[in-house]
Chains A and B, each alone.
Chain A
Amino acid sequence: MYKYDNYDQAIVDARVAEFRDQVNRRMAGEITEDQFKPLRLMNGLYLQLHAYMLRVAIPYGTLDSRQMRMLAHIARKYDRDYGHFTTRQNIQYNWIKLEECADLLEELASVEMHAIQTSGNCIRNISSDQYAGAAADEVTDPRPWAELLRQWSTFHPEFSYLPRKFKIAVIASPEDRAAMRLHDIGLELVRKDGELGARVFVGGGMGRTPMIAPEINPFVKADDLLSYIEACLRVYNRYGRRDNIYKARIKILVHEIGADEYRRQVAEEFAHVKTLGIDPPLAELERISAFFAAPAFDAADVEPDRSDPDFAVWLDQNVKPHKQAGYAIVNISLKPIGGIPGDASSAQIDVMADLAEKYSFDELRVTHAQNIVLPHVAKRDLYAVWQALRDADLANANLDLISDIIACPGLDYCSLANARSIPIAQKIATRFADAERQRDVGELKLKISGCINACGHHHAGHIGILGVDKKGVENYQLTLGGSGAEDVSIGKITGPGFDEDGIVDAVEKAVEKYRELREGDERFVDTYRRVGMDPFKEAIYG
C-alpha cells in the first residue's frame, strides 16, 4: 500500500488548516453560503436532508486496518455509529456537524486520509479494480497509476473550476470490475510490445444522458500519461458547455463534436503540453509501484474443508480465485436481506479491520458495488474468516446475486432525490430472500437510483430501477439490459412506471420470465439480449 512521505503529509495537513480557516470564516459570516458551498464541496461536505454529509476519499478503494479503524472511530465520535460505502469506493457519513468537521479531518489526516475533491466541479477520487494486485487476469497492478493520477489531480490549479465534476477510473484487466467505460475518463492498462501503457476512453457517464465512453487513444505510454490527460482536461475546461448544468459533463462535449474531432483537439493540445515537462520521470511511477509490491505469500495450496454447508455456499458465492496459489479473494457483502445496501456499523467496520490485519496482509478494498474485499486471504484461513464474518452479520452469501443490490441513499437522505431507493432494495431482497431461489437465478445485477443523476447506476443494471416524482408521489421506472462490466451497455426502459409494491412485482415477473426462457447457463442479461424486450414487456404488463 502507498505510504505518505513528508510531502504528501504536509499537503494533507495544510488542507486541514485551510478548511478550518474556511469554516471559521463561514461561521463568522465573512463569506456567504453561496461562496462557501464550492469550498465545502471541494472537501466533500454536502448539506443533505437531515444534516451535513461528509464524503471521505478512499483512493482507488484501498485501505489498511488502521485506516479502516479510523473510519469506525469517526462513525462513533462524529456520526451516529455507522457509515455508508459508495459506488465510487468512498465512505459517507450522514450526520456530520460543520463545527466539528475540521477536527474530524485532522483525525483522518493522522492516518493518511482526507476528503479532498470528493465533490465539486473538479477531478474526483480515482477509482479502480477492487481485485487489483490479486486478480489473475491483470497485466499489472493499476493502483500505482491511480496514485500517480491522484497526486497530479490534487489541487490542480487549472482544473478546480471545471464545467462539471470529473471522474476517472483505472483498470488493468480485460474484465471490467470498475464500470470503467462509464467514467469521464476510463483507462485500461495494456501491454504493447512489452511496454505498459493506457487505452484511453473519454466521455462515458450515467446521469440523465448515459453514454459509453469511446476509445480516444489505443495506447498512451506511461511517461506521456499525465500530459495526455492534462490535454484531455484542458480541451474540456475550455470547450465543455457551461450554459446548461445538464449538458456540462465531458460526455456531452465528446458527443456533440464527435469522438474524432475531440481526439484531434486532444492530439493538438498534447503536442503542445508535452513540451512543458509536466510528466514526472518513470522513476516516480517506480517509486510508487514499490509500495504495491506483492506481499510475502507463503501459504500452502490447501483446499478448505467444505463440510459446513453454510460455509460451502459462501465459499462458492463470495470467494474468488487469487493469482497466487494457496490464496483467495474474499468478498464481504454489505447487503444483508432487508438491510441498507452499503451501510456498515462501526462495530462491523472494526471487525473487517481486524480480519484484514490478521488474515489479509493488512489490506481491504471497497468495491463500486458497495461491498468490501479482503484481497489476500490464505485458503487455510477461509473458514476462520467466514466464522468471524458470520458472527458480525457479514457473511451474506449473495455476491452478484439479485439481493446484492446497488442503491443510492435516495430520498431517505439525499436532497437531490425524487424517490426513496433503500426501501425498494429492501423489499426486492426480501422477496427473493430464499437463498436457493437466488442462486438458481444466478448473476443478476440490480441497481436502484432515486433520481435521474443515477448515483445508483440504474442504467448499468441488468435490471435497473429509477425513482421519479409523479405529482408528489414516488414512482419507479424499470430498465432492462444494462451492464457496467466489459460487456458494457445502457439499459432500456420497459414502459410505464410503478408504485412501490408494483415495482417489486414487476421485477419478480421479469425474473420469472427469464427462468422460463433461459438456455444453458445464460445469465439474465444474456437471455434479455438474445430474446429482446418484448417477452419481458408482455410478462410485466400483459
Chain B
Amino acid sequence: MKLLTGNELGSGAVTWWTGNGWSIHVEDAVDVGEGGESILHAEEGARRVNAPYIIDAIATPEGPRPAHIKDRVRALGPTVRPDLTLKPADPAAGDWII
C-alpha cells in the first residue's frame, strides 16, 4: 500500500493522510493507491501539509506499517526517548520500529 505523509506547516508535527484530512497517528493513514500525487499537490497548495511525500507501507492487523525505518521513526518518535514518542506508556512500542 501507499501512504501520503508530511508535516503540519505551523507546528511541524508529522501527519498522515486519512482520506479526508490529516492525523498524527499512522494507524489512521489510508492507502492512496495511485492517486497520491494529486492529493499531495492539492493539500500542499492549500498549506494543509508541508513537504509531503508518498511512501510504501505494509498493511498489518494493527494498521499500516511504513516500509522504511525512517518513516517508522517519524511515525512513533525517537527510539532513545520513549517518553517523547506517541506511545510513552508502552515500553515495547519501539520494537515496532526495528
Seen from chain A, the residues whose Cβ lies within 8 Å of a Cβ on chain B are 26-27, 29, 33, 47, 49-52, 80, 95-99, 340, 411-413, 415, 417, 420, 422-423, 426, 472-474
Contacts and interface: CB of A to CB of B under 8 A. Distances in A.
Contacts of B84: 80, 95
A423 B50 contact: no
Given A47-B51, A49-B74, A412 B12 contact: no
B11 A98 contact: yes
B35 to A, nearest CB: 22
Contacts of B79: 412, 420, 423
Given A50-B14, A51-B11, A98-B10, 19 more contacts: A33-B50, A47-B7, A47-B50, A50-B13, A50-B74, A50-B77, A50-B78, A80-B84, A96-B12, A99-B11, A340-B80, A411-B69, A411-B70, A412-B80, A415-B70, A420-B79, A420-B80, A423-B80, A426-B80
B73 interface: yes
Q: Which 8 A-B pairs have the closest CB atoms?
A: A51-B12, A412-B78, A52-B12, A99-B10, A422-B80, A97-B11, A49-B74, A412-B80
B58 to A, nearest CB: 12
Q: Is the interface of A mostly helix, strand, loop or mixed?
A: mixed
B68 interface: yes
7 contacts: A49-B73, A49-B74, A95-B12, A97-B12, A411-B69, A422-B80, A423-B80
Given A51-B11, A97-B12, A33 B69 contact: no
A472 B68 contact: yes
Contact of A97 (B10, B14, B50, B70): B10
Given A340-B80, A422-B80, A423-B79, A47 B70 contact: no
Contacts of B7: 47, 51
Contacts, number: 65
A139 to B, nearest CB: 42
A340 B81 CA distance: 9
Nearest to B85: A50
A47 B80 contact: no
Contact of A33 (B14, B51, B68, B74): B51
Contacts of B77: 50
A82 B20 CA distance: 35
Contacts of A422: 80
B87 interface: no
A155 B79 CA distance: 38
A26 B50 CA distance: 11
Contact of B10 (A27, A412, A426, A472): A27
Contacts of B39: none
B12 A47 contact: yes
B59 interface: no
B48 to A, nearest CB: 11
B42 interface: no
B47 interface: yes
Interface in B40-98: 44, 47, 50-51, 67-70, 73-74, 77-81, 84
Residue among B9, B13, B78 having the largest count of chain A Cβ atoms under 10 Å? B78
Given A29-B47, A33-B51, A80-B84, A412 B73 contact: yes
Nearest to A80: B84
A98 B79 CA distance: 24
B9 A98 contact: yes
A320 B70 CA distance: 41
Nearest to B14: A50
A97 B69 CA distance: 24
A493 to B, nearest CB: 23
B89 to A, nearest CB: 17
A80 B12 CA distance: 14
Contacts of A95: 12, 84
Interface string B13-24: 110000000000
Contacts of A423: 79-80
Contacts of B74: 49-50
Contacts of B13: 50-51
A411 B73 CA distance: 8
B9 A49 contact: no
Nearest to B83: A80
B70 to A, nearest CB: 6
A95 B7 CA distance: 12
B86 to A, nearest CB: 10
A163 B66 CA distance: 35
B11 A413 contact: no
Nearest to B70: A411
B9 to A, nearest CB: 7
Contacts of B50: 33, 47
Nearest to B52: A33
Nearest to B68: A472
Given A50-B77, A80-B84, A412-B79, A474 B12 contact: no
A221 B67 CA distance: 57
Contacts of A51: 7, 11-14
Contacts of B67: 472
B69 A98 contact: no
Contacts of B47: 27, 29
